[in-house]
Structure 1
Amino acid sequence: ASCFQTLTSEPEADVFLPQSPERACTMASQGPHIPSDKRFIIFFDFDETIVDETSDDQVVQTVPGQYLPTWLKDTYHPGRYNEYMQRVLGYLAEQGVTESDIRAVMEKIPATPGMLTLFQFLRTRPQTDFEVVLLSDANSFFIESWLRRTGARALFHRIFTNPATFNKDGRLVLRPFHSHDCPRCPVNLCKQVVLRDYIMRRTQERGRPYQRVFYVGDGANDFCPAASLGPRDVAFARRDFPMHRLIIETHESMPGQFKAVTVPWVSAEEVVERLRKHVTE
């Protein structure tokens, strides 16, 4: 099986969600224009990278008693977390949890140390420096709620995540982002597929590659996209989190296999320090 399948389901728009070809064409014609002169592209994970918690865990705070019944937790199967969260969100609706309840919890999640400083750095750079992309296995409602509360939404040129919308009964309905053939990743999202396809398409649109690709993440599913980066690119791995440990293990077991420069971080201010060096090159 390969990680390198090409996506065909997402529209050319600022939030990429699977939808019908007709809708995708409409969104393509209306989507925001991204200048083609950006020097760098930087990808961010969301849970435990931008925010200092896992949003799926935090939403449990909306349930009376703030815990899930054992029978529900026992329905989780490895690699199928998205399907499990669909059931969790259904249970929340049955318990009377509302859209405003969920939004309020999402808005209270703290940013990871230094992350707002990093966002401010990216905001104040010249327009030609960074194209900023969010790539997450959370969902669109959780992410949009947090970004809009912090005023960070406008920073992101693109958001790739699982679609989540409220139906007429007030239930938050979660769907998978796509399907793929990567054996490493959960069935609903391979971040490497998304990253590679997006960079390929943007390179064609721009007529030239980015000078460097940066990836900021923490989890095991962030190792997969980071593994596709080249020797000029930088993987910012949250120190001692799964992404960092997998990179170390790969260097030890398969020297030369992981090509990107690895920069571990505890505070995102360390990411800022490294980015400052690159933008002055």
Structure 2
Amino acid sequence: MSGIVVVFDFDKTIVDVDSDNWVIDELGFTDLFNRLLPTMPWNSLMDRMMMELHSHGKTIQDVERVLRTIPLHPRVIPAIKAAHALGCDLRIVSDANMFFIETILNHLGIRAYFSEINTNPGYVNEEGRLRILPYHDFNKASHGCTLCPPNMCKGLIIDRIQESISQENKRIIYLGDGSGDYCPSLRLKENDFMMPRKNFPVWDLICKDPSVIKAEINGWSDGEELEQVLLHLINKISIEEKAHLISSDCKLQTLSVSALESLPKVLPVRP
């Protein structure tokens, strides 16, 4: 296993559109969604929309059907498979929901490549409708971050991931597109890498003052460039790791030679 954790956002990063909008639009509820959007947080609105879909006769099978048709760039899946084959630990941090993400990943045959999915809970209740809940229950307590929406602070998730890998000296490559990916980019360390999607909200936020980002910034525009940049960074880290191991071995050998040379010289005893 390499010392690399690759963290993907989901919407407009793994898939090429917003999965929430895709479901609402494909099932014909865009107008209602737009009317309700100014009245409540996005995450709460999606739960409300799932209730509206159910009350209008749309089934969970209808939701699954449109999720299986979601567009994505043809080079994204090969990039994910290549990163996994190279030993990277792949994780998702997304403001979508578990039901949407797992339905799509299972359809694409890549669910098993991810060790962890951090997202809003989504499940089918006893009435057969999808419930979508907040990752952070903001009705009980605020997560305290002013940069993020009330239901999810991705920065806090990155903090937890960093803490879990701190003893292993692993490095993070983070890929994202939205404004919610800005907070975690601020949490990355100097030996990490940030991959913002060019000309998307997180790119615009970073470009305002790149100096506040400690990680190395590597932009990408589409799935083909995502694959190229990601595999380049994985290769770069692997080369650095090998060079560090060789350097460490050389130091050990030098120490060993020095230790031998420092031993007291004992003249042979004449028989």
Normalised by the shorter chain, which TM-score bucket? 0.7 to 0.9
CA root-mean-square deviation: 1.8
Q: CA deviation at 1:97?
A: 1.1
Equivalent in 52, 75, 78 of residue 16 of structure 2 = 52
Partner of 1:112: 73
CA apart distance, 1:141: 0.5
Partner of 1:98: 59
Distance 1:77 1:250 in 2: 30
Unaligned 5+ runs, structure 1: 1-36
Structure 1 runs, 4 residues or longer, greater than 6 Å off: none
Deviations 1:187-222 (A, max 9, x none): 00000001101221343xxx3331x21101111101
| Structure 2 residue 187 is matched with structure 1 residue 228 | yes
**Structure number with larger C-alpha Rg:** 2
Deviation at 1:185, TM superposition (A): 0.5
* Structure 2: 5+ residue stretches without partners: 241-271
Residue in 2 aligned with 1:34?
none
Query: Which residue identity is paired with 1:82?
Result: N
Q: Percent identity?
A: 32
Q: Distance in 2 between matches of 1:249 and 1:78?
A: 30
Letter in 2 for 1:186: P
Aligned residues of 1:165 and 1:174 also touching (Cα < 8 A): yes
Query: Matched residue pairs, number?
Result: 231
In structure 1, what is the equivalent of residue 160 of structure 2?
Answer: 197
Higher relative contact order (CA 8 A, sep 6+): 1
> Tell me, what secondary structure is at the counterpart of 2:184?
helix
Aligned with residue 67 of structure 1, among 29, 33, 48: 29
Equivalent residue in structure 2 for 1:156, among 103, 107, 114:
114
Partner of 1:269: 227
What is residue 82 of structure 1 aligned with on the other side?
Answer: 43
Decide whether the 8 Å contact of 1:79 with 1:187 is kept in 2. no
Question: CA 1:110–1:276 in 2, change beyond 3 Å: closer, same or farther?
Answer: farther
Q: 1:47 to 1:38 in 2, by over 3 A?
A: same
What is the TM-score with the length of structure 1 in the denominator? 0.77
